[in-house]
Amino acid sequence: MSGSIIRVLPEDLANKIAAGEVVERPASVVKELVENSVDAGAGSIAIDLENGGKRLIHIQDDGSGMNRDDALLAFERHATSKIRANEDLFNIRTLGFRGEALPSIAAVSKVLLTTSTGEPGQGQKLCIEGGALRDVKAAAHPKGTSLMVRQLFFNTPARRKFLKTDQTELSHISNTVMRQALARPDISFRINHNGRNLVNAPAHSQILPRIMDLFGRDLVSDLVPVQFRKNGFGLDGYVSKPHCHRVAKDALFFYVNGRYVKDRVVTHAVLEAFRGLLPKERVPMAFLYLEISPGSVDVNVHPSKTEVRFAEQSEVHSFISQSIKEGLKSGGGKHAPAEAARKKEASVAPEVREQTAVLVKDKTSYVPLPFPPAFPFTPRREYPAPATQAKYVQSRHIKGPGEGSEGLKSTPVPAPRLMDASSLGYSDFRTIGQIDNSFIVLEGKKGMVLVDQHTAHERVLYERFLAEKEKKSVEAQSLLFPLTLEFTKGEALLLESMADELEALGFEVESFGGNSVLVRSVPSLLSDKDCKLILRDVLDRAALLGKGASLEELAGDIIAVMACHAAVRAGQSLKREEMLSLMEKLQATNRPFTCPHGRPIALFFEMAQIKKSFLR
């Protein structure tokens, strides 16, 4: 019999493996340490970074601090102050609870912890390298904790080589802190990088000023309030008006009992509330805070703690969607009567407008307000578990013509087919006009073609932009008055890191301090377009591909965004000469049957099918 081939892993190797689930990049370290500071009751959190956090992450807070014994135990795996028994796992009210963060971080870095409970002579300093305790001694320190993480992944070089540029890692960190700052406006946050102040978000008692700090005043004017109570659920926050939308789903900031989460049920509920109000493949901006009994949601799903499971999934989905719809009706959504909204706003005294909105006590009522209020921040408000209610669903089938009868029988309408390389070319048809100011109509001996004017123009402009980029001859238009645009700090950092790539495509962009960006030139075809919306879409596309991607990786998507914004729109009337010119240019492209995003450009209705539908 051969010897055993199964071995128990050495502790240091097991810790490095476990760290892979918790510590992916510097932003992961920042997330875990900031959550610990929040749980410790900090009112102020300062973050100092070097080289995008790869060389140094230093986080200081004024929380409760730790004594010697707790400081030593904190670096033991599965040691935590948050839970004690099995039942605690289903009543979690803190951000951290697994006891994995500190030992995982210490296993792949050099850590120096200094902490104190505020009692005289109780300050402690611990030095840990690669998971091994090197030194522990008394040290003077004010109440709170200071934790320095140096040389992340110094003992796992294979992990370190996957880190991106300093600007890219810094953008991830900024976005991570922004999510936590939106959850707790009552805590001040500061970020310094290489001695330069990047974020300074003072504490507020309300949500709206924090949103303004991080996103700028322009966005705040496009937000409507959501405030709803029903069956033990509570939802507060803001969503953007339908005309304000984004590409990436990262625009949805959703919190469950103060915890930032990414959840398909939640995302679908938000999009369901905006059904029919947004362009295809766009999402609204949303800052939403769901409060629910801790026993009704499971947060112990993944080490990152951003995934949750709801006990009453369908009820949560329905509640979120209903709440947002009510907010849109009362706060400026598409179906809100504009005149009624103006009268309501005028009827409110100025001194009342400045007051903070009062939370609704009746859990089944909704009180619309005439403008976005500044909700008072009340962390960890408790609600009873939702009562189980019987569901009564009625379905009714309406018979169509000819169904279930021997008389009239419906004739199937022949379906058109997409124009593609195997179909007839556009040259076999002649342009006869436009319908709905959106589609160009072509007719020929073989049938009829409908051309989507927007996607057709997208294809033309896309190939033009691409050709100019390859020849390095993109025509740029210098702006007489440079545009000053506000973004989030993460977006501004990402734009700064993409400056060379954008310049090759006609954009001259530079940092203008804080979250502001100065735009000095744009591609000539975009000179009269919404520059901020285009750049934001570029950022969203870059995020989907991966921040820090090269120009060759990003160029196609960036050019597609530019072409989409510069193309003629559906609903835009075209002169006959413009339609003829567009069709001529479309025929000359390499792929005249699909737009750069893959949508079809034309539908072909075969003459034989058309005649068949008329029983000929």
What confidence tens digit (pLDDT) does each residue in 563-580 have?
Answer: 888 888 888 999 999 999
Instruction: Calculate what percentage of the chain has a pLDDT beyond 70.
Output: 76
Q: Kindly report which listed range (31-45, 90-104, 315-329, 592-606) carries the lowest average pLDDT score.
A: 90-104
> Which pLDDT value is given to residue 472?
80
Residue 135: which pLDDT band, with cuts at 50, 70 and 90? Answer: very high
- Would you say the C-alpha torsion 140, 142, 145, 149 has a positive or negative sign? negative
Q: Tally the C-alpha atoms within 13 A of residue 598's C-alpha that lie toward its C-beta.
A: 2
Report the residue count for the chain.
616
Task: Name the pTM for this structure.
Answer: 0.68
| Res 456 pLDDT > 50 | yes
| Res 357 pLDDT > 60 | no
| Res 208 pLDDT > 70 | yes
How many angstroms separate the CA atoms of 309 and 561, rounded?
Answer: 35
| Domains of the chain with CATH codes | 11-203 (3.30.565.10), 208-353 (3.30.230.10), 411-616 (3.30.1370.100)
| Res 62 pLDDT > 90 | yes
Collapsed DSSP state (helix, strand, coil) of residue 487: coil
> Which pLDDT value is given to residue 498?
80
Task: Tell me the residue ranges of DSSP E strands in 436-552.
Answer: 439-444, 447-452, 476-486, 508-511, 516-523
Backbone angles phi, psi at 206, to 5 degrees: -130, 160
Query: Average model confidence (pLDDT) for the chain?
Result: 79
What integer is the mean pLDDT of 99-103?
Answer: 80
> Which pLDDT value is given to residue 19?
59
Residue 543: which pLDDT band, with cuts at 50, 70 and 90? Answer: low
- Give, in degrees to the nearest 5, the angle at Cα 464 between 558 and 600: 75
What integer is the mean pLDDT of 528-534?
Answer: 71
**CB-based contact 440:430 (threshold 8 Å):** no
> Which pLDDT value is given to residue 83?
56
Write out pLDDT tens, residues 142-156. Answer: 999 999 999 999 988
Write out pLDDT tens, residues 117-130. Answer: 998 888 999 999 99
> Which pLDDT value is given to residue 580?
94
| Res 457 pLDDT > 70 | yes
Q: Which of 610, 331, 567 is nearest to 451 (CA)?
A: 567
The label of the residue with tokens 């209903």 reads 322
> Which pLDDT value is given to residue 551?
52
**SS3 sequence, 359-421?**
CCCCCCCCCCCCCCCCCECCCCCCCCCCCCCCCCCCCCCCCCCCCCCCCCCCCCCCCCEECCC
- Bridge partners, residue 110, by sequence: 129, 150
Q: Which of 531, 562, 545, 582 is nearest to 468 (CA)?
A: 562
How many angstroms separate the CA atoms of 28 and 172, rounded?
Answer: 9
| Res 96 pLDDT > 70 | no
The label of the residue with tokens 């030992």 reads 103
How many angstroms separate the CA atoms of 291 and 257, rounded?
Answer: 5
Instruction: Calculate what percentage of the chain has a pLDDT beyond 90.
Output: 34
State how beta strands 417-418 and 602-606 pair. antiparallel
Residue 600 has a CB neighbour count (10 Å cut-off) of 15
